[in-house]
Chains A and B, each alone.
Chain A
């Protein structure tokens, strides 16, 4: 009975498992510490995470990335539990998430961020200085629909909403800046809601085949015009100051870390964000390459 090969195979398999498991734990040389950055599941979040991460890495920190984790409902608990150390958030939406949808956010970014920090403090979290770059929710319709129903602003939807289908990410029916906000602020009641993605290929495909007429998009999209979509004006200011702002665990937010991150935020504009999104989404460039180019352009490396 030839049992040797069985034992050999078992030992090899066990060894391979151990090797694989051990290989994944990285070793750090003299670094200032490890920071884990989490990202949402859309391209812009990967770009922002890389921007902040590469700046920190350049400054001597070991940076781990956990990108494309999901939406805020998934990422925020990970931050609270300490599985990630920071993520790039959007001021007003963060406030409404952490205050339990109280409706405190406004278009004043400083006030909004201050209220956000009040909410974050008991959780040992902190919002840093918000950037000038803004990415808000917006709602778009195809040109044909806009012409058919004479739509230029969101309040125009109140009359015809019941004939239209709204498309957005799965959490839209529960997010204050999404479906509930449209109902409360504008009195729009849609015929139905179709769960797709956060302004991704599923949403665009749904626009294209007519299964939705109104869809959630982001104001930093680079290709809405090309897709024949018209953004409806937010005349009653449902959307608020969604400036990019790092949400970080206080323990990790040393003065040095804060300086590095705030410098990035200060140099980031909405136009540049739109450009970088376009490079990733349309030209299929890597978020880390796009971020590196931005940092080089702003002379972060050797500048």
Chain B
């Protein structure tokens, strides 16, 4: 049977859609692990990056932290997390959060820095005080790059979450690892396809969120800067 046919058959098998090892369960696990990690990461990274960008402090640190973050091998971080925290969701989320933070810090720093200084001056001239200036003037302008950072982080986390299976975690990586162990190629390929689709869906949906949040005029204005947000593969 050809590879495509066997994969098609794997997806067509109803037993693969039920139960603990079924596609819906695994997708939900994967999304849960990824979403929680990105959320917690955002709660830590965004205020930090925004503050640093707003005050213009520690720029080198903020920009280079994503460099350092990218240098950390995700496989290693997951194993370290397992050796400290044991099994379950906690080590996986901790490891993924650690990986999610650096790009969001850097991108939010850059996003705030990119706000036109003339706009800042105008705001100050109009009488905006510090916090109001941040929330009402700078942040709305910074949203495109901010969202780019979150999007990069999220897609990275979704890809890395497949490695959670190496420390007995759940998610779509299970199909790949278990498939490899059982030499069950339809399962492995189906798992790979599902992860790829999920990563694409993450990218698309977060782009849609960005479209909603950013007024069209600003989006066009920001277009040249957006191309700088290069996505990065860690797993």
Contact = CB atoms under 8 A, between A and B. Distances in A.
Do most interface residues of chain A lie in helix, strand or loop, or is the interface mixed?
mixed
B181 interface: yes
B20 A195 contact: no
A41 B194 CA distance: 28
Given A192-B20, A195-B174, A202-B87, A174 B167 contact: no
B183 A73 contact: yes
B168 A195 contact: yes
Interface string B80-122: 0011001110000000000000000000000000000000000
Given A74-B183, A77-B183, A209-B88, 19 more contacts: A71-B181, A73-B181, A73-B182, A74-B180, A170-B177, A171-B181, A173-B182, A195-B168, A195-B174, A195-B177, A196-B168, A201-B82, A202-B82, A202-B87, A205-B82, A205-B86, A206-B168, A208-B86, A209-B86
Nearest to B88: A209
B86 A169 contact: no
Contacts of A192: 20
Interface in B57-83: 82-83
Nearest to A196: B168
A106 B174 CA distance: 33
Contacts of B86: 205, 208-209
A180 B20 CA distance: 18
B47 to A, nearest CB: 34
Do most interface residues of chain B lie in helix, strand or loop, or is the interface mixed?
helix
Contact of B181 (A169, A194, A201, A209): A169
Contacts, number: 47
A181 B72 CA distance: 42
A211 interface: yes
Contacts of B29: none
A208 B168 CA distance: 14
B87 A211 contact: yes
A156 to B, nearest CB: 25
A221 to B, nearest CB: 19
B203 interface: no
B210 interface: no
B87 A170 contact: no
B178 A170 contact: yes
A227 to B, nearest CB: 14
Contacts of B181: 70-71, 73, 169-171, 195
20 contacts: A70-B180, A70-B181, A71-B181, A170-B180, A170-B181, A170-B182, A171-B182, A174-B182, A174-B184, A192-B20, A195-B181, A201-B82, A202-B82, A202-B167, A205-B82, A205-B86, A205-B168, A206-B168, A209-B87, A211-B87
Contacts of B87: 202, 205-206, 209, 211
By CB atoms of chain B within 10 A, which of A196, A202, A211 has the most? A202
Contacts of A196: 168
Contacts of B88: 209, 211
Interface string B153-169: 00000000000000110
